[in-house]
Chain A
Amino acid sequence: MSRKLWGENVARREDIRLVQGQGQFTDDRVLPGMLYAAILRSPHAHAKIRQIDVASAQKMPGVIKVYTGSMVSGHLGTIPTAWIPPDSQLKMVPHPPLAVDRVRYVGEAVALVVAQDPYQAEEALYRILVDYEPLPAISDPVQALESSSPRLHEEAPENVALHWKVGTDTDEVFSGADVVVRQTFRQQRLIPNPMEPRSALVQYNSATGDMTAWLTTQNPHIHRFLMSGILGIPEHKLRVIAQDVGGGFGSKIACYADEVLTAFAARDLMRPVKWTESRSEHFVATTHGRDHYDEVELAGTKAGRVLAVRVKTYANMGAYLSTAGPGVPTILFGLIVNGAYDIAQASAEVYGVFTNTTPVDAYRGAGRPEATFLIERIMDVYAREIGMDPVELRRINLIKKEQFPYTNPFGIVYDSGDYHQTLDLALKTLDYASLRQEREALRRQHKYMGVGFSTYVEMCGLGPSQVAGAVGFQGGLWESATIRLHPTGKATVLTGASPHGQGEETTFGQIVADRLGIPLEDIDVVHGDTDRVSMGWGTYGSRSTAVGGGALAKAADRIVEKAKIIAAHMLEVPVGAVQYDAGQFYPEGSRERAVGIQDVTLQAHLGWNLPEGVEPGMEVSAFYDPTNFTYPFGTHVAVVSVDPDTGEVKLLRYLAVDDCGPAINPMIVEGQVHGGVVQGVGQALYEGAVYDGDGQLVSGSFMDYAMPKARFFPRLETQRTETPSPHNPLGVKGVGETGTIASTPAVVNAVMDALSSFGVVNLDMPLTPPKVWQAIQTSMAKGGPS
């Protein structure tokens, strides 16, 4: 394969429209006769609904119809859970699109108004009279397990949504180990906040029964699949389109009540209906992420060899089980709690708990950031316990290059890697030795600098469908690609991946341009439309390039295969004698006789003189199902200073050394790392969803929920090594989530390093100034820094 564009920083093709304000986001679209929907949401975390009176709302100007739960329940299915981990005793609980007699979280949909304009719809919401009988609420997953706590669902009498165990028997190792360290961690709830709020616009043709739904989704085909069942619309009659989508980070995977209701109203009223959430709604009505209590234990030797790690987790599931929710704290978390280390014994036990909070689902990294946080943090706790430099400890325990493919204690097979190489590159880039010296020198002046590491590995490129089935994911995880060469040699490429910021219109173009020798300008990549793309499983789990790109490479190879047969016929030589390079077919040794792929394609379309048995046309589809996940890895380092007088943490330097396999477009790879890192640092230092005792979300707007801003960051430094994955045709591993996975523990480790002389071992995130200041004060009261 010629690699003209592979590895090049090709400017993104999607930018042309986006920088000119010509993107087409769901809310931008207007249809003739369109109506607007607004949703009344529960103000209570837990309440019985005694009665709903919509009479006066119905009379408001412009109001077309008001729907309640009892009106729609016979006509609509419930909101499904599409991940049922085996042996998890999962309690499936019904989640009606509109609450009927009980609400279980603030933000749960209670009624739907459809009106002529959005203001009228909004105003009518205030005229709906709901008679609630408030019930006691619980938002904390550990407290929710207490017998005195309020219960959410009859089906789950203890509030336990799932209980899952995995791993080896670690008891013996722990009882015999020289060193055992234990630490509990809180991984706080986060709110995804892609900048584009969710939106749905649905049109129904009552004559043909065809429905078109423009949705803010990361996986239009999954939405089609699920919504067809909920709405009772045959799958071939439902078209889901996700044109430009303004970020997702996992929050646009799930199938939500809102889009189902919008579709229902469009069909019922036979008019197009649009619904767009406000940011305030996003805070309560879009799935949240993380929210764990974790108890971690590590057994090791005094010399720094880790022998076993054991994790017990209480994961908050929220009030209902969201689409992929149950898979996040189990499969995507438990199977990788040993991290990048060669640890013989490991186990994880997880309780998924129902609480009166917004459902929790995937958020960038989904399970893997939580696992990485635990192992990377406990490694530092262990290092401090045995008085060893955390870098040295990592060096001893990291899986070695020659151990790949490496089977971890959960039976997961890490594909390839050179973990030590990323660590060495990081140390060299930072000049670690002098950083340590600087830290010591500053300390003598009562200034506190800290350096924190995270030598992570993650599991992405989701994934083999057989494994998906085995772990209870109710779908496949393969991908499709179609390459259609038009008579003039231009190409339309269709992919089942559904990028929403990741730039595959460009990188996939690069792959095809290289393989087929067609100029990039002659290639259009189409995605996010279930009528144009036959099937696909969408974009999440850093899978698009590893799996979607794999399908594309296969399709391109098939095009070349077919074109070669026609070219041989044109050149009047046997097929075996035809060479192919960068779009040119020629008889061995005589490149001057080459025919281009465009000419061959034209002949294929004309069909005047094709070799026997060759079908006319030049279009192929390929379906690619990977044989394993991919395992990107790397070393991230944060350097921070802590002001002892204010508790303020300042990020001085951040270095990410990642290995995601060979990069098709390094600029885009780097961009993914930047965004991921900042999101991960957000968790470490700024972000956190806070519920009060009544289950009210008190951090429900950008005023109360601290999003990372530009001025909080220094210039981000990035480096890469390239270890191909042997599992897919491109060797790529995926990079969408690495930044978020790696950065949170790196920063917390750095802050704990800075606070080490105050004897502080752990603080709960986010590490806000008051928390840090308080820890310093407590230490001072006990006699100050050591």
Chain B
Amino acid sequence: MNDSKVTINLSVNGQDTTVRVPSRTLLSELLRDTLGLTGTHVGCDTSQCGVCTVWMDGLAVKSCTILAAQADQSAVVTVEGLARGITLHPVQRAFQAEHGLQCGFCTPGAMMLAAWYIQHHHETSETAIREALDGLICRCTGYENIVRSVQRALAFQQEDETPVAAGREEEVSS
């Protein structure tokens, strides 16, 4: 057993935070238990399902597979930070429009992955999107409507005059 604690400075959804947690704390636990951001879910204990996906310094990462201590000095974005005030992120709008979720448990992870994808890729082909979703397990949707959601999100992103995703990127890298 390890009682040692670490101090971590990080920004979560644009807000600077300092926390002191046991050094073994996982990023997913820091988010859910310490910060009360329960939008990030945990679906496995072997780093396979991707339900816990968040952004760390602009990269989509599995928060159950990263120690909170590794997030020191980094900028983390979770599902709670996707929307801009009351304006939903293109991915959030797309998942609703295309029925990309059923039980909604994998959805935060699926959307963080999708949001990362549309920010970095513009490939709308099924094959590319299905490949990109490989880190996600969804038991409800059969992925079909998640794929369509990603395609729709790409379209929404293009339509948006000031793409929210681009704004995020600046914020994350600052």
Residues of A within 8 A of B (CB): 11-12, 14-16, 18-23, 25, 27-28, 30, 61, 119, 123, 193-197, 244-247, 249, 278-280, 500-503, 667-668, 670-672, 674-679, 701-703, 707-711, 713-716, 739
Q: Which residues of A contact B96 (CB under 8 A)?
A: 11-12, 15-16, 19
Give the CA-CA distance A435 to B126 in the complex, in Å. Answer: 23
Given contacts A21-B78, A709-B134, contact A702 B139 (CB under 8 A): no
Q: In the complex, A601→B126 CA distance in Å?
A: 51
A675-B45 CB under 8 A given contacts A119-B24, A195-B51? no
Q: What's the Cα separation between A25 and B105 when bound, in Å?
A: 8
Given contacts A195-B105, A674-B142, 18 further A-B contacts (CB under 8 A): A19-B79, A20-B80, A194-B103, A196-B41, A197-B42, A244-B105, A247-B139, A278-B45, A501-B104, A503-B102, A671-B102, A675-B141, A675-B142, A703-B46, A708-B142, A710-B146, A711-B134, A716-B144
Give A496 to B170 CA distance when docked, in angstroms. 48
Bound: A197/B43 CA distance, A: 7
A-B contact pairs, 15 of them (CB 8 A): A11-B99, A12-B99, A21-B79, A23-B39, A23-B105, A25-B41, A27-B38, A119-B22, A249-B139, A670-B99, A677-B142, A701-B44, A702-B49, A710-B136, A711-B134
Q: Which residues from chain B contact A709 at a C-beta distance below 8 Å?
A: 133-134, 136-137, 143
Q: How far is the CA of A278 from the CA of B49 in the complex (A)?
A: 13
Query: Do residues B142 and A22 form an inter-chain contact, with CB atoms below 8 A?
Result: no
If A123-B1, A279-B43 touch, does A11 touch B97 (CB 8 Å cutoff)?
yes
Contact A246 B103 (CB under 8 A): yes
Whether A710 pairs with B143 at a CB distance below 8 angstroms is yes
* Cα(A630)–Cα(B43), bound, Å: 34
| Residue B172 at the chain A interface, CB threshold 8 Å | no
Q: How far is the CA of A194 from the CA of B44 in the complex (A)?
A: 11
Q: Kindly report which residue of chain A lies nearest to residue B78, judged by CB atoms.
A: A21
Do B99 and A246 touch across chains, with their CB atoms under 8 A apart?
Answer: no
Binary contact readout B90-111 vs A (1 if CB under 8 angstroms, 0 otherwise): 0010011101011111111001
* B55, chain A: closest CB distance, angstroms: 13
Shortest A649–chain B CB gap in Å is 17
Complex Cα distance A702/B49, Å? 8
| Contact of A247 with B130 in the complex, beta carbons under 8 Å | no
**Which residue of the partner chain B has the closest CB to A123?**
B1
> Cα distance A713–B127 when bound, in Å?
9
Question: Which residues of chain A are near B102, meaning CB under 8 Å?
Answer: 247, 501-503, 671-672, 675
**CA gap between A674 and B37 in the complex, in Å:** 31
Q: Given A14-B104, A671-B102, A715-B126, does the pair A678, B143 have CB atoms closer than 8 Å?
A: yes
Interface string of B125-163 (1 = CB under 8 A from A): 011011101101111111111110000000000000000
For B145, the chain A residues whose CB sits under 8 A away are: 671, 674
Between A119, A280, A668, the greatest number of chain B beta carbons within 10 A of the residue's beta carbon is seen for A119
Give Cα A28 to B40, complex, Å.
10
- Asked if B142 and A18 sit within 8 Å, CB to CB, the answer is no
B48 at the interface (CB under 8 A from A): yes
Specify which of A21, A677, A707 is in contact with B108 (CB 8 Å cutoff): A21
**A739 nearest CB neighbor, chain B only:** B142
Give me the interface of B with A, judged by CB distance under 8 Å: 1, 22, 24, 32, 36-46, 48-49, 51, 78-80, 82-83, 88, 92, 95-97, 99, 101-108, 111, 126-127, 129-131, 133-134, 136-147
Which of A18, A701, A711 interacts with B46 by CB under 8 Å?
A701
Which residues of B lie under 8 Å from residue A679 when comparing CB positions? 139, 142
- Contacting residues, chain B, for A195 (C-beta < 8 A): 41, 43, 49, 51, 103, 105-106, 137-140
Q: Which of A61, A500, A713 contacts B103 (CB 8 A)?
A: A500
- Whether A194 lies near B139 (C-beta < 8 A) is yes
Given contacts A194-B105, A195-B49, A278-B45, contact A20 B79 (CB under 8 A): yes
Shortest beta-carbon distance from A235 to chain B in Å: 28
Q: How far is the CA of A197 from the CA of B51 in the complex (A)?
A: 12
Query: Are A15 and B45 neighbours in the complex by a CB distance under 8 Å?
Result: no
Per CB-CB distance, the 9 closest pairs between chain A and chain B, nearest first, are A21-B39, A246-B105, A18-B104, A501-B103, A678-B142, A702-B48, A674-B142, A21-B79, A28-B38
- Candidates B41, B104, B139, B142; contact of A193 at CB < 8 Å: B139
Residues of B near A671 (CB, < 8 A) are: 99, 102, 140-141, 144-145
- Tell me whether B45 and A279 are in contact (CB under 8 A): yes
Which of chain A's residues have a CB closer than 8 A to the CB of B108?
21
Known: A16-B96, A671-B102. A711 touches B139 (CB 8 A): no
What are the residues of chain A within 8 A of B49 when measuring CB–CB? 195, 279, 702
Q: Are B142 and A716 in contact (CB under 8 A)?
A: yes
Contact partners of B137 in chain A: CB under 8 A: 195, 702, 707, 709
Q: Establish whether residues B46 and A15, one from each chain, have CB atoms under 8 Å apart when the complex forms.
A: no
List the B side residues contacting A703 at CB < 8 Å. 46, 48
With contact pairs A19-B88, A19-B101, A21-B80 given, residues A715 and B144 touching in the complex (Cβ less than 8 Å): yes
Minimal beta-carbon separation of A362 from chain B (angstroms): 15
Among B43, B97, B143, B146, which residue has its beta carbon within 8 angstroms of that of A196? B43
Q: A710 and B139 in contact (CB under 8 A), knowing A501-B103, A674-B144? A: no
A707 and B78 within 8 A (CB): no
Complex contact A279–B46 (CB within 8 A) = yes
| Choice from A25, A279, A668, A710 contacting B99 with Cβ under 8 Å | A668
Complex alpha-carbon distance, A502 and B49, angstroms: 21
User: Nearest Cβ in chain B — how far from A681, in angstroms?
Assistant: 9
With the chains together, A21 CA to B36 CA distance in Å? Answer: 11
Neighbouring A residues of B88 by C-beta, 8 Å = 19-20
Cross-interface CB contact of B130 among A28, A675, A710, cutoff 8 Å: A710
A19: B residues at CB distance < 8 A = 79, 88, 92, 95-96, 101, 104, 107, 111
**Residue contact A244 to B142, C-beta cutoff 8 Å:** no
Q: Which B residues are in CB contact (< 8 Å) with A21? A: 37-40, 78-80, 108
Distance to closest chain B CB from A493 (angstroms): 20
Cβ–Cβ < 8 Å partners of B104 in chain A: 14-15, 18-19, 23, 244, 246, 501
Rounded to whole angstroms, the CA-CA distance of A15 and B99 in the bound complex is: 9
A22 touches B39 (CB 8 A): yes
- B148's nearest neighbour on chain A, judged by CB, is A715
- Is there contact, CB below 8 Å, between B141 and A674? yes
A495 to B129, CA, bound (A): 38
